[in-house]
Structure formats: C-alpha cells, structure tokens
Structure 1
Amino acid sequence: MDHLACFTPGDLQSARAPDLSSYHWRLLAQGDSWFSNATAKLNAHANLLQELVLKEKACVVNCAGTGEALAHMVDLESAPDFVRLLSSPEAPVWDGVLLSVGGNDLIAAAQTPAHTADGKEVPLHLRLLRRQTEWGPPSAGVARYFSEPGWATYADYLRSNVRHLLTLRDQGPSAAKPVFMHCYAVPMPRPAGSEDGGLGSSGPWLYPALKAYALPGADWAAISRLMVFHLAQLLKAMAADKAQFPGLHVFDSTAVPLALATPGSSGNSGDWHNEIHLNHSGSFKIARAWSEHIQNVLAPPAPVGKQR
C-alpha cells in the first residue's frame, strides 16, 4: 500500500511539473478544511489526503488550497483551478474526484441565529435549531430542538450543488468517472477552537451556537450526532440515486470508531485536535477506512470463485 503523492495546481505549472502519466491512478481533489494544504493546519491535524493509501501508485492534485477560512460547498468562483482541471477540454483524464464538502455548510446552518442583528426573527426554514418556545414534545428526544424545515432547505442546497459538480465533471475529459465523498465524524460540542493562530474561522463552532439557543448541555452530544447522522443519511441517499447522481460514491465515516473528545475540554482530546477537526490519529483512522472504499471502486475485487 502506497501513500498518494500530493500535488497542487501550482505544481503542475512549475518548471519541475510532475509527470502524472507515471502514476497508475490520477485523482483530483477539492474540499473544506479536512483537505486543507495550509501549513499550520497540516502541522496541527494533517488532512485526510495525506493518510490515503492505495495498492497501486497514485497521485492527487489537491485544489483545496491554503485558504484560512472554512470553505463552503460550491464557492467555485474562488476555485478556478478546480473548475479548469475538472471541466476544461484540455484537462487531464482523472480516474476519480475526491470531495470533502457539506460539513462546513452544516456548521454554518447550525450557527444561524434565531434573530437577525436588527431583531427580526429568522424563519425556521432558514435555520437548523429551534428556540425554547419552539421546542417539540419531550417524547421527540433531541429531535425536539431540530428544525426539519431548515433541514429541508439545507438538503435541497446540498443536492443541487452536488448535481452541479457532477455536471462539471461530465463536461470534461473525466466524464462519468467516480466521484468520492466522505461523511463526517460526530464532534463533541466543546470550547475547543484553533490553537494554531491566524486560521481564519478559529472556533469553537458548535459550542457557541448551542449555548446561544440555550439547549440543555446534557443533550449537546446527541444534538451533534443527530445533525451529522442526518448529513450521512442524505449523502448515502444521493449516492444510491444513480439517475440523479451518477458515479457518486459515499463513504460513511460515522461507522469508523473514534475516541470521543472529553466534554468541556478545550484542547486536543481523543481523536480530535479541536472541536471539529480530527488530529493525526483521527485522520489516520478515517482515511485508512476510506482508502479501502476508494480502492474497491477503482479496482473491484474479483468475484469469489474467479480469483486466481
């Protein structure tokens, strides 16, 4: 098993550009902070791409860049390299596309306040959490705090953007090639922001949102789990819909056992560097499991009885 050779779009245009043809598999990547190339983030908590391993020599051109802010789903105007390398007629033929998207939009939706700065109420279909006067019955469990109308808005947004990405793929030389997405792990809401300094959105992220909505602290872990599992079910349903999302493959990261962070902790804890980013051990666990999923799509194992 070999680690992927990781390059950037800038590497392809340099005087010492890598020879992509020397690799058995060539992959293109775009994503959020779980794929970030920012040096401070790599030193602090690595990224999933660094820990992927495949049975054949492979490389990835990572367009996630070194941006300090949390990336949203399809901010393609700020990702011209990715669009060009994916959809241009002159782009390489990629064996697959790796995407780490949707998680930061989920966090942004959870952070949406119940009222605007001038005191106007934000309607339920534009936020994920409910004010105390809007809570459902106790029999609903933590779902009583969750805005299903807001979730429907988020789900529509995610579906339309992933369809757009698949359309871009099919406009270029890599039409119909597999697109790999991962789900997210369940974070523990806690006062643990970035300790790296100058990383843009430095957090914490969920912790202040749940406090602002005055949700019971004893339910925070379950609320986080509810939101992340909703996202996982949405992504897996999209991958199962081959008509609307052809060639989409989703890996369920929620099934990978991770060491939870200690509630109330403010630093590195369990498999987590901070509230929403994995540390090196967490990245290793998720990436190695995802590697097997990717490997089985790129090179399906021979059926039983057909192996030599």
Structure 2
Amino acid sequence: MNHLACFTPGDLAAASAPDLTSYRWRLLAQGDSWFSTADDKLNAHANLLQEMVYKEPTCAVNCAGKGGTLSHLVDLESAPDFVRLLSDKDSTVWDGVLLSMGGNDLISAAQTPAHDAAGNRVPLHLRLLRHQTEWGAPSSGVARYFSEPGWATYSDYLRTNVRHLLTLRDQGPSAGKPMFMHCYAVPMPRPAGAEDVGLGQSGPWLYPALKAYALPAADWAAVSRLMVFHLAQLLKSMAADPVQFPGLHVFDSTTVPLAPATPGSSGSSGDWHNEIHLNHSGCFKIARAWSEHVEAVLSGAHTAAPVKRSRR
C-alpha cells in the first residue's frame, strides 16, 4: 500500500516542483481542520490525508494549508489557490477532489443562541436547538430539542454551496471528475477544547452550547448523534441525486467503529483528541476506510487523464 503523497500549491510553483505524472491518481484537496497541515494540529490530532493509503501511487495537492481556511463553506474567497487549481482552464486535470467541510457549519448552527444580544428570541429557522419553552413532547425523544426549521435552513445552505463547488469543478479541465466528501464522526459533548487558541477556536464547542440551552446532560450524546446523523443523511441524499449533484461521492464515516470519549473528560480520550477532533488512532480508522471508498470509485469508473503543468 502507498501512503498518499501530499503537496501544497506552493510546491507546484517551486523550482523543484513534484512530477505529478509519476502518480496513478492525482487529487485536489480542501477542507476544514480535519485536513489542516498546521504543525500543532498534526502533532495533536493529525489529519485524514496523512493517514490515507492506496494500492496505486496517489498524490494530493492540499489547499487546506496551515490556517483555518474554508472553516465554513462560504469562505471560498479565502482559498484562492483551491479555486484556481479547481477551475482554471490551464490547471492540472485532477482525477478527483477531496473535500472535508460542513462540520464546522453544523457546529456554528448549534452554537446559535436562543436570544440575540438585545434579548430578542432568535427565530427557529436560524438555529438548530430549541429553548426550554419550545421543547416538544418527551415521547419525541431528543428530537424534541431539535429545530426542524433551522435544519431546513442549514440544508438549503449546504446544498447551495456544494452545487457551487461542483460548478467550479465543471468550469475547469477536471469537469465531471468525482468529488469526494466524508461525513463526520459523532463527538461526545465534553469540556475538552484545543490547547492552543491558534487552532482557530479554543473550544469546547458543543458542550457550552448544550449547557446554554439547558439540555439534560444525560441526553447530550444522543443530541450530538442526532445532528451528525442528520448531516450524514443530507450528504448521502445529495450524492444519490446525480442530476443536482453530478459526480458527488459521499463516504459515511458514521459507519466506522470508533472508541468514544469518556463523558466529562477534558483531554484526549478514546479516538478523540478533544471534543470535535480525532486523535491519530481515530484519523487512522476513518482515513483507511475512506481510502478504500475513493480508490474503488477511481478504479471502477474513471481513468487517469493527462496532466498539465499548473500555471505559475
């Protein structure tokens, strides 16, 4: 098996640029902190790309970089290298695009408070959780805490942005090539943030949101599961619609068995480095399974295309 060889956009512009033609599969990657190459993130909780392996030699140009680029889908203006390499007519013909995104948007939606700074109630369609006075019947289980109007808003947002990414792909020489997204694993809401605020958010992320909404602690794990499974179903439904989302392939990470973090723990626990980031063992488990999914698609439905030198 061959570990995924990872390069940066800067590597392509260097005097000693890598020879991408020596690889069977050439991928373009962009995403959130699960793809980040920041040293503190790699040392702390790794990333999925560095744990991916393929039978055929495979490389990826990772545009996620060392910062928080594309922490949200609408931040494409902060990722000019990715947009250029994806849509520029003179760019490389990529065999596929790897995306890690949507999770931070879900967290942000869950963090939206029930009241704004002026004390006014935030409309249900603008948040994912319900205030105590809005909870449904106990017979509904943890779904009684969940805002379906807010989920509809989030779903429309995600669909719109993924369609935009597919449009960018089809503007360039990699038109029609597969675009791969992964679902997320189910985090345990707990007081486990990042050690370094340079990671973008110090965290924890879900834990204070669920506390602010006064959700019973006994239901926190189930609420987290509900939200992550909603996202997984949304992504899979998009991949099942080739008319609206041509060439989109989604890997269901929720099916990968992970060791959950211990409730109430504040450090690395199970397969989790902190509340929402996997540690090396967690990344290893999901990345190896996702690698198989990606290579099966590449091998079964697509052939390698000639490579053009990226414009410098």
Same fold (TM over 0.5): yes
Ranked by relative contact order (alpha carbons within 8 Å, sequence separation 6 or more), the top structure is: 2
Written as runs of structure 1 = structure 2, the 5 A alignment for 1:49-68 is: 49-68=49-68
1:69 Cα offset (Å)? 7.1
Please state how far the C-alpha of 1:68 moved relative to its aligned partner: 4.3
> Which secondary structure state, in structure 2, belongs to the residue aligned with residue 73 of structure 1?
coil
Alpha-carbon distance in 1 for matches of 2:191, 2:70 = 18
Residue matched to 1:125: 125
After superposition, what is the alpha-carbon deviation per residue over 1:20-75, rounded to whole angstroms, capped at 9, x for unaligned?
A: 11111100001001001111000101100001111111100000111147711131
Tell me the secondary structure at the aligned position of residue 64 of structure 2: coil
2 CA distance for matches of 1:97 and 1:69?
16
Separation in 2, partners of 1:281, 1:45: 9
Aligned to 1:217: 217
Q: TM-score normalised to the size of structure 1?
A: 0.96
- Alpha-carbon distance in structure 2 between the residues aligned to 1:74 and 1:273: 27
1:92, 1:173 within 8 Å by CA — same for their partners in 2? yes
Secondary structure at 1:36 match in 2? coil
Secondary structure at the aligned position of 1:299 is classed as helix
Indicate the SS of the match to 1:198: helix
User: 2: distance between equivalents of 1:28 and 1:159?
Assistant: 21
My pick for the range that moved more, 191-200 or 212-221, is: 191-200
Question: 1:200: how far off?
Answer: 2.1
Aligned partner letter, 1:9 = P
Equivalence for 1:103: 103
Count matched residues.
Answer: 301
Cα distance change, pair 25–234 in 1 and its aligned pair in 2 (3 A) = same
Counterpart CA distance in 2 for 1:70 and 1:266 is 27
Secondary structure of the structure 2 residue equivalent to 1:104: helix
Quick check: 1:44–1:196 contact (8 Å CA) kept in 2?
A: no
Cα distance in structure 1, aligned partners of 2:197 and 2:77? 27
Structure 2 vs 1, CA of residues 11 and 25 (structure 1 numbering), >3 Å: closer, same or farther? Answer: same
Task: Give the AA of the match of 1:87.
Answer: S
Q: Which residue of 1 aligns with 2:308?
A: none
Q: Is residue 195 of structure 1 aligned with residue 198 of structure 2? A: no
How far residue 119 of structure 1 moved from its aligned partner, in angstroms, is 1.1
Equivalent-residue separation in structure 1 for 2:30 and 2:177 (angstroms) = 15
- Which amino acid in the other structure matches residue 75 of structure 1? D
Instruction: Check conservation: 1:68, 1:201, Cα contact below 8 A.
Output: no
The farther-off stretch of 291-300 and 171-180 is 291-300
Q: What is the aligned partner in structure 2 of residue 169 from structure 1?
A: 169
Partner of 1:306: none
CA contact (8 A) 2:64 2:70 kept: no
The residue type equivalent to 1:209 in the other structure is A
**TM-score normalised per structure 2:** 0.95
1:235–1:250 Cα contact (<8 Å) kept: yes
Match of 1:9 in 2: 9
Query: Structure 1: which 5+ runs fail to align?
Result: 302-308
Q: Report the equivalent of 1:254.
A: 254
User: What corresponds to 2:289 in structure 1?
Assistant: 289
For 2:70 and 2:84, locate their aligned partners in 1 and report how far apart those are by CA, in whole Å: 22
Aligned to 1:35: 35
- 1:305 corresponds in structure 2 to none
> 1:165 is matched by which residue type in structure 2?
L
Q: Is the 8 A contact 1:41 1:196 kept in 2?
A: no
- Evaluate the alpha carbon distance shift between residue 223 and residue 70 of structure 1 in structure 2; reply closer, same or farther with a 3 A threshold: farther
Report which stretch shifted further, 253-262 or 10-19. 10-19
SS in 1 for 2:245: coil
When the two chains are superposed, the root-mean-square deviation of aligned CA atoms in Å is 1.1
Q: Distance in 1 between matches of 2:69 and 2:193?
A: 13
- C-alpha distance in 1 between matches for 2:83 and 2:109: 25
Q: CA deviation at 1:300?
A: 2.2
- Aligned equivalents of 1:12, 1:284: Cα separation in 2: 27
- Is 2:266 aligned against 1:266? yes
Question: How far apart are 1:14 and its partner, in Å?
Answer: 1.3
